[in-house]
Amino acid sequence: MTVMKTSLTVKNKGTPNVEVSPREELVLLALYGKELYGLQIPQAMQEASGGTRQMGIGTLYPVLHSLEKKGLVESRWGDEGREERGGARRRYYKLTGAGVTTLEAIQSFRSNLVAWQPI
Amino acid sequence: MRCILIGYNFLLTWLGKNISKTADASALTGLLTELEYAEKNGITAYITPSSLSYILSQLSSSATTDELLKKLEQNNITVLSIESIQQELESKLQGLEKISELEKRIRKYKSSDPTETWATRWIASPIAYLFPPERREEWLGDSYEINREMLHKHYPKWSINLVMIGRTVILITSAVQIKLSDLISLGVKRS
């Protein structure tokens, strides 16, 4: 009975409502608790992994678009155009409530999976 | 080379004022003898301000600083004054401050740092019209930012242009990818 309860809890807590690919998950992790603009996301990944993980812009922009469509990430324009960007504004991304919930669910699922022991 | 390093001119001035009129150059002679000995043996002699003040205190002379310096020069002793070096450095510092102020003023009238190469101007910017309108500003801005960073890191222009062309191609494929995913998701919704 206890085993059944545990597996149910894992299923309820750990299964995200939206399907998220590994790349999308990485972007969600990078955006957790902060607001970043496009170029800062690959930079965060590179620095956090000590240069072993990289994400090119060819992957980043479609991933951000997909996450926005799924409602996990929201974006806003920066206040003003910058000289170093040829007058263009920055677009800042952050997690939505659903994004945070999904990410926490994924994390919980992972930790439960690591802790799971066969009886 | 005979050399006396005098730390503070004010010390000399004070000594010059406080030494009595009756000339007694025995201490100075002693000093000169020591310096000669150092010269013969190839030793550079340095005298600290405190030891110089002791020697000068032994001189019962009313010699002023200038007179004392003259005497030392006559005996082929180079006197280096830290005070004069300090003054020289201060004047140099003032000069540098003036230059930095001028540079700041000039910077206002200078054109801003270049952020674009020919690839951004003639390839990325026109092709950007193929990008989704809501993404155009962001993508082009990011490209400009990378371009500027590379320029600041002094990468060769040809490599920056090459990277920019590569980025533009990648952005086009990204735009196509986004369009396709939108179409597919629309098809899935309808079905």
Tokens of B85: 């070096």
Which residue, among A55, A84, A89, A93, would best test binding to B if mutated, counting the most B CBs under 10 Å from its CB? A84
> What interface predicted TM-score (ipTM) does this complex get?
0.76
Instruction: Note whether A53 and B108 are within 8 A (CB).
Output: no
Cα–Cα distance for residue pair A97/A115, rounded to 1 Å: 27
Instruction: Note whether B35 and B72 are within 8 A (CB).
Output: no
pLDDT at B22: 34
**Could you give the 3-state DSSP secondary structure of residue B71?**
helix
- Give the pLDDT band (50/70/90) at residue A74: very high
**Could you give the 3-state DSSP secondary structure of residue B5?**
strand
Q: Is B185 on the interface with A (CB under 8 A)?
A: yes
Q: Which of B140, B146, B182 sits opposite A88 (nearest CB)?
A: B140
Q: A69: which chain B residues are within 8 Å (Cβ-Cβ)?
A: 182, 185
Which residue, among B111, B138, B188, would best test binding to A if mutated, counting the most A CBs under 10 Å from its CB? B138
Residue in A closest to B173 by C-alpha: A58
Q: Is B116 on the interface with A (CB under 8 A)?
A: yes
For residue B64, which of B30, B28, B19, B4 has the smallest C-alpha distance?
Answer: B19
For residue B148, which of B170, B116, B118, B126 has the smallest C-alpha distance?
Answer: B116
C-alpha distance across the termini of chain A, in Å: 12
Q: Is B95 on the interface with A (CB under 8 A)?
A: no
| Interchain proximity A90–B138, CB inside 8 Å | yes
Instruction: Note whether B133 and A73 are within 8 A (CB).
Output: no
Beta-carbon neighbour count of residue A65 at 10 Å? 21
Find where tokens 């939108």 sit. Answer: B182
**Could you give the 3-state DSSP secondary structure of residue A34?**
coil
Tens-digit pLDDT string for chain B (191 aa) = 344 444 444 444 444 444 433 334 555 566 666 666 766 676 655 555 555 666 566 554 555 666 666 766 776 666 666 677 788 888 899 999 888 888 777 766 655 556 667 777 787 778 878 788 888 888 888 888 888 888 888 888 888 889 888 988 999 999 898 889 888 887 776 76
Q: B139: which chain A residues are within 8 Å (Cβ-Cβ)?
A: 38, 57, 61
For residue B97, which of B107, B86, B89 has the smallest C-alpha distance?
Answer: B89
